Amino acid sequence: MNSRRSTRAILAIAAVAAGCASMSDQEASQKALQLMKASFSERGQAKLDRLDQDEAQRLCSKPPSHELSKETSARIEKENLASIRYPADGKLIGDWKSGERIAQNGQGKQFNDDPKRPSGANCYACHQLSRQEISFGTIGPSLYQYGKLRGTSEAIQRYTYGKVYNSQGFTACSNMPRFGHNGILTEQQMKDVTALLLDPESPVNK
Amino acid sequence: MNRSRRNALKTGGGAGLLAMLIAAGIVRPGDALAQQQWNQAAFNGKTLREALQALGAQSPVASDGVVIKVPEIAENGAVVPVAVESRIAGTQSITVLIEKNPLPLAASFEIPAGTEPNVSTRVKMGESSDVYALVKADGKFFFAKKEVKITIGGCGG
Amino acid sequence: MKRPLVRLGLRARLLAAGALIVLVPAAPSFSQSAVDEIAKYRQQLQDGNPAELWEARGEALWKTKRGPKNVSMEACDLGKGAGVVKGAYAELPRYFADADRVMDLETRLVHCMTTQQGFSFAEATKRPFGAGASRSDFEALAAWITSESKGVTMNVALAHPKEREAYQLGEKMFYFRGGPHDFACATCHGETGKRIRLQDLPNLTEKAGAQLAYTTWPAYRVSQGELRTFQWRLNDCYRQQRFPELKFTSDASIALTAFLAHNANGAAFNAPAIKR
Amino acid sequence: MADPMRIRVAERDGVVNVRILMSHEMETGQRKDSAGNLVPAHFIRNVVATHQGRTVLSAQWGTAVAKNPFLEFSFKGGKKGDKISVTWEDNKGEKRTDEATIG
């Protein structure tokens, strides 16, 4: 049934495309979205609405050759920065030990994950953090000695918590998930990750 | 039962008799398994010490004659290549044990005369651990060990 | 040098191990040596690839009479003529006039299973991927068919308008960010020299990376003890991207495959491989 | 029925190198399935390789041998045309024997 529907979709696309040599970029984007909507099925917590992009996702879905204008980047950053909600109790530093577990955990939000269990942040997938963990990725910069190098002033605390909450408030189209903005981590989890980065006792700062 | 088998292996009589029976067509090659035992006590040993005791190898000695080839770091514990070579004359068996596995004894190979004392296989490791190669030669036990670190790989999900 | 093995008590050994961790600082070059050691691990795995077990089963499946019409797949046209398997995978996906559609390997196999062997679409596609005793015919067939392209130069054409369209839409999909984590394929595979944990991430937007990646699937995954196809690789990437599930033999799946396969053109195909 | 083994043999100067791949789950008995139930142990316990009827290697395995086991060894005294036979038996009593000829 679904394959028939998707076949029809691609036939419709082909009928349009046959007329001209190639599609415009915007046409192609629209057709790709149609194609994807017909080619994915909902499973577990992953519904089809995950293919509905917000503005940042849409603007950031471009090859590196299509660099965003300064104005567009600034707009993405401004809007994302405004989305950050700081904890009502004003405390930004939680428990670094819990933060380490969150940094190691790559589960959460996948169609096979239990939505009742807390998500991880999987920081080590992309960042070096502590010296002990040799299995770390390099998509993001090394965060080893993050707090030792920057100190723990209130400004640094707010920047760090904010960056975890919504990275695109600081860098448009950052590869880093917007953990608070998109509801991946809870407030307490973000405090714990902030502690992992800033607490002098954390292995990150040893 | 185990003891009589060990005696048979010591004299070489068991294997020789079996070969004769196979050659005579009385026993088919597949039936060779019927002669084989499985050392349940050793495989069920929960610590290195328990497994070694059940193998009759309470106090093996470290030896450069046992060469163990394992990766220093394994990308995944599900498959860790292990090769063991014995340079000790009269090698009768080669055994692989993984100290921190829930059941340390992984595999044991009987090496008849004419077979090179050099075997290669792949094991599972639950976590980073020392891997031991135990060699029995002329009735005595020798060993070498090497640590293998198991890393967390992939995207983590 | 002889010393007894079981001499230290467990506690003493644990203390010794603990002391080691505290006292020995990690060398700055440790991560580089870790990478080197992992390269050795991978090298040690190359000899004796269990993918061969799938290849043998796949060849038997291809030649076995099956389905309501009780015919083998030996008349299946993978693009180079009926029954020609050698080199076929290195030219897929491609446009097939008899179906008026661009098809990748799995889609073409389903086409032959339904039109020639008489299976229903549902029956043919009920198990795209295996798990333990529940085995997938596609993984076995793909293992054998791809092994028949080993050493063949990748040559995926963009001659037909529908091939060009599939490529263009596949490229769009590659950069499409979505889901709660904002991930696109490009998030992990758009830059050269990056790793996730200790795994090297091929940059699929440039020739060398696309070639290295595409020509080494299918692969026996030691972490799963299964042979996994390129189709599976796409499905599992999307799972980890937090997307819904990519449908087997769907047009989006074919389009993305066409984009990545074409980018690998010029390289010698080198699978089934063995990977973590 | 279990899948056939893949047995590769190569002879050089009378030394025969044997490489075997076996198709087996090698369940440890400690893994849980998706429903949370313990999957019972299921693993090869004994392997015997013979050359012209003479045992050239015998092995006892536990659950720690990796899934789809690989085994490599060498012995002296083989020549082209000789037969190598390998048999495994698992803890459920299932057996499989396959042969290869030294080429």
Domains of chain B as residue ranges with CATH:
3-35 (no CATH), 40-152 (2.60.40.2470)
Cβ–Cβ of A122/B153 closer than 8 Å?
no
Cβ–Cβ of C132/D3 closer than 8 Å?
no
Chain D residues in contact with B38 by the CB 8 A cut-off are 45-46, 60
Chain A contact for B23, CB < 8 A? no
CATH number at A111 reads 1.10.760.10
How many C-beta neighbours within 10 Å does residue C80 have? 15
**Nearest-CA distance C184 → chain B (Å):** 14
The residues of C annotated as belonging to the active site are 237
CA distance linking residue D97 with residue D88, whole number of Å: 7
Chain C contact for D67, CB < 8 A? yes
**Nearest-CA distance D15 → chain B (Å):** 9
Q: What is the pLDDT along chain B (157 residues), one digit of tens a residue?
A: 343 333 333 333 344 444 444 444 444 554 555 556 899 999 999 999 999 999 999 999 999 999 999 999 998 899 999 999 999 999 999 999 999 999 999 999 999 999 999 999 999 999 999 999 999 999 999 999 999 999 876 676 5
Cβ–Cβ of A63/C205 closer than 8 Å?
yes
Chain A contact for C126, CB < 8 A? no
Which chain D residue is nearest to residue B105, measuring alpha carbons? D62
Chain B contact for C196, CB < 8 A? yes
- Residue C109 φ/ψ, nearest 5 degrees: -65, -40
Domain count for chain A: 2
Domain limits of chain C? 1-48, 161-275
Cβ–Cβ of C53/D19 closer than 8 Å?
no
Furthest CA-CA distance within chain C: 74
Give, in order, the Cα–Cα distances in Å from C36 to each of B72, C114, C192, C193.
10, 48, 18, 15
Cβ–Cβ of B120/D71 closer than 8 Å?
yes
Do strands C219-221 and C226-228 pair parallel, antiparallel, or not at all (unpaired)? Answer: antiparallel
Which chain B residue is nearest to residue A126, measuring alpha carbons? B155
CA distance linking residue B50 with residue B103, whole number of Å: 10
* DSSP structural state of residue D65: B
CATH number at D44 reads 2.60.40.10
DSSP 3-state of C105? helix
| Average pLDDT of chain C, as a whole number | 89
Structural domain range at position D66: 6-101
In the structure, what pLDDT confidence band is assigned to residue A44 with cuts at 50, 70 and 90? very high
Shared domain for A46 and A90, answered yes or no, is yes
Q: What is the pLDDT of residue D98?
A: 97
Residue A13, pLDDT > 80, answer: no
CA distance linking residue A17 with residue C27, whole number of Å: 58
Shared domain for A47 and A34, answered yes or no, is no
Site from B79, B121, B129, B134 to mutate, D interface, most D CB atoms within 10 angstroms: B121
Domain assignment present for D1: no
Domain count for chain D: 1
Chain D residues in contact with B150 by the CB 8 A cut-off are none
Do strands C273-275 and C219-221 pair parallel, antiparallel, or not at all (unpaired)? Answer: parallel
CA distance linking residue C113 with residue C116, whole number of Å: 6
Shared domain for A98 and A4, answered yes or no, is no
Chain B residues in contact with D87 by the CB 8 A cut-off are 29-30, 32-33
Tokens encoding A41: 């099925």
Shared domain for A69 and A118, answered yes or no, is yes
pLDDT digits (tens, 9 = 90+) for C80-137: 999 999 999 999 999 999 999 999 999 999 999 999 999 999 999 999 999 888 899 9
Site from A126, A135, A138 to mutate, B interface, most B CB atoms within 10 angstroms: A135
Q: What is the pLDDT of residue A64?
A: 83
Tell me whether 0.85 is exceeded by the ipTM: no
Nearest 10 degrees: Cα torsion C261, C263, C265, C268: -70
Q: What is the pLDDT of residue B32?
A: 52
Domain assignment present for D44: yes
Bridge partner residues of D38 (DSSP): D32
pLDDT digits (tens, 9 = 90+) for A145-172: 999 999 999 999 999 999 999 999 999 9
Residue A22, pLDDT > 90, answer: no
Structural domain range at position A158: 42-206
Asked if residues A172 and A164 have their Cβ atoms less than 8 Å apart, the reply is: no
Which chain C residue is nearest to residue B143, measuring alpha carbons? C5
Chain B residues in contact with D97 by the CB 8 A cut-off are 29-30
Domain C161-275 carries which CATH code? 1.10.760.10
pTM exceeds 0.80: yes
